[in-house]
């Protein structure tokens, strides 16, 4: 039985539609491949590297789970990655992150604020060397070295009628730290 011209026309139209759909799928796949190549190989996926200025939200906790600092729901912390503005472990944690990435990282003492140094605890005579009239335990003082004019913060850890004991260690010295970090901005160098 011979096909009518009408049937032949319908078959030809169906064949063209199938061919156009095949072309459409091929074109879409090629477009996806091009976008992926651009994204991963040509810089579409920007990650933080040394010299970039980055913005982060973070929450820092001690080994016992106590939060010692956080800027979540506040202004992002902005710093130049690898510039020495941050502790080494924090810089290392942010390096390689992309905007929107989050991570929780454990930072040991040697990558945080270093070990606690007992020799930085000093007892001074209140009458001869101490100018604060009503010192109290926990008070933070800024002390200036008269020879170098360099300043440092010390924490009062003991008070007696005749002496005051101060600790010049950084507050978090000797502590392992854990940070939950979210990278919110990268400004490449």
In a domain, 77, yes or no: yes
Instruction: Identify whether residues 58 and 108 lie together within a single domain.
Output: yes
On the question of pLDDT at 167 being above 60, the answer is yes
Structural domain count, the chain: 3
In a domain, 29, yes or no: yes
- Specify the range with the lowest mean pLDDT, choosing from 7-21, 87-101, 129-143: 7-21
pLDDT of residue 38: 58
22 pLDDT band (50/70/90 cuts)? confident
21 burial via Cβ count (<10 Å: 0-12, 13-18, 19+):
exposed
In a domain, 134, yes or no: yes
Other C-beta atoms closer than 10 Å to the C-beta of 148 total 7
In a domain, 3, yes or no: no
Domain that holds residue 131: 118-167
For 170, phi then psi, to 5°, come to -60, 145
Residue 181 and residue 147: Cα distance in Å, rounded? 40
* Residue bearing the bigger pLDDT, 122 or 25: 122
Q: What is the mean pLDDT of the chain?
A: 87
On the question of pLDDT at 43 being above 60, the answer is no
Can you give the pTM of this predicted structure?
0.69
Instruction: Identify whether residues 64 and 108 lie together within a single domain.
Output: yes
Instruction: Identify whether residues 108 and 66 lie together within a single domain.
Output: yes
DSSP 88-156: HHHHHHHTT-BTT-EEEEEE-GGGTT----GGGEEEEEHHHH---SS--TT-EEEEE-TTT--EEEEEE
pLDDT of residue 152: 86
On the question of pLDDT at 6 being above 80, the answer is no
Mean pLDDT of 10-33: 73
125 pLDDT band (50/70/90 cuts)? confident
Instruction: Identify whether residues 27 and 61 lie together within a single domain.
Output: no
In a domain, 1, yes or no: no
Instruction: Identify whether residues 76 and 57 lie together within a single domain.
Output: yes
On the question of pLDDT at 18 being above 80, the answer is no
Residue 139 and residue 144: Cα distance in Å, rounded? 16
Mean pLDDT of 103-123: 97
Q: Which of 173, 175, 187, 179 is nearest to 72 (CA)?
A: 179
For 10, phi then psi, to 5°, come to -65, -45
pLDDT of residue 29: 74
Instruction: Identify whether residues 75 and 99 lie together within a single domain.
Output: yes
Instruction: Identify whether residues 104 and 57 lie together within a single domain.
Output: yes
pLDDT of residue 104: 98
């Amino acid at each position: 039985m011979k096909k009518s011209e009408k049937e032949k026309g319908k078959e030809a139209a169906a064949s063209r539609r199938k061919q156009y759909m095949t072309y459409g799928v091929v074109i879409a796949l090629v477009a996806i491949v091009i976008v992926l190549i651009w994204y991963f190989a040509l810089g579409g996926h920007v990650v933080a590297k040394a010299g970039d200025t980055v913005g982060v939200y973070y929450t820092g906790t001690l080994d016992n789970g106590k939060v010692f600092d956080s800027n979540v729901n506040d202004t992002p912390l902005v710093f130049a990655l690898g510039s020495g503005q941050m502790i080494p472990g924090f810089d290392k944690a942010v390096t390689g992150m992309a905007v929107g990435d989050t991570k929780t990282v454990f930072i040991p003492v040697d990558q945080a604020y270093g070990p606690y140094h007992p020799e930085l605890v000093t007892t001074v005579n209140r009458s001869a060397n101490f100018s604060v009239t009503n010192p109290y335990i926990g008070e933070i003082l800024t002390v200036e070295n008269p020879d170098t004019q360099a300043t440092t913060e010390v924490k009062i850890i003991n008070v007696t009628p005749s002496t005051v004991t101060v600790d010049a260690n950084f507050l978090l010295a000797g502590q392992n730290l854990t940070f939950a970090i979210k990278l919110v901005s990268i400004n490449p160098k």
